[in-house]
Structure 1
């Protein structure tokens, strides 16, 4: 009886740990999304001379 309870406690702990890791990863992603400024990255300011060179449609910086 004690062995079955020990296994159950182990698996409940493992599942709780996995859920906590997923939640913390999502909190971190939200923090980075709201604290960063992805519009302020280096990019071409003028039209490129060769094909395949792109510039930002609207600069945020």
Structure 2
């Protein structure tokens, strides 16, 4: 009887480790799928920026403006 209980205890640990690993992988895959969906489905609005080369430091312009 003691051997059967010991065997059951030993089998529980690997089972829960596998469950936790699979759950973590599921969360990781789901997060990446959501990130890809949002990046494909969204189109950012145009942001006001200088069209000409700025003369002051910190003034940047878009390389190729789509607006």
Bin for the TM-score computed over the shorter chain: 0.7 to 0.9
Name the structure, 1 or 2, with higher relative contact order (CA <8 Å, separation 6+).
1
CA RMSD of aligned residues (A): 1.9
How far does the alpha carbon of each residue in 1:34-54 deviate from its partner, in whole angstroms, 9 at most, with x for none? Answer: 122247333223332313311
Which one has a bigger Cα radius of gyration? 2
Separation in 2, partners of 1:32, 1:41: 19
Question: Which ranges of structure 1 fall in alignment gaps of 5 or more residues?
Answer: none
TM-score for both structures, normalised by structure 1: 0.76
TM-score for both structures, normalised by structure 2: 0.71
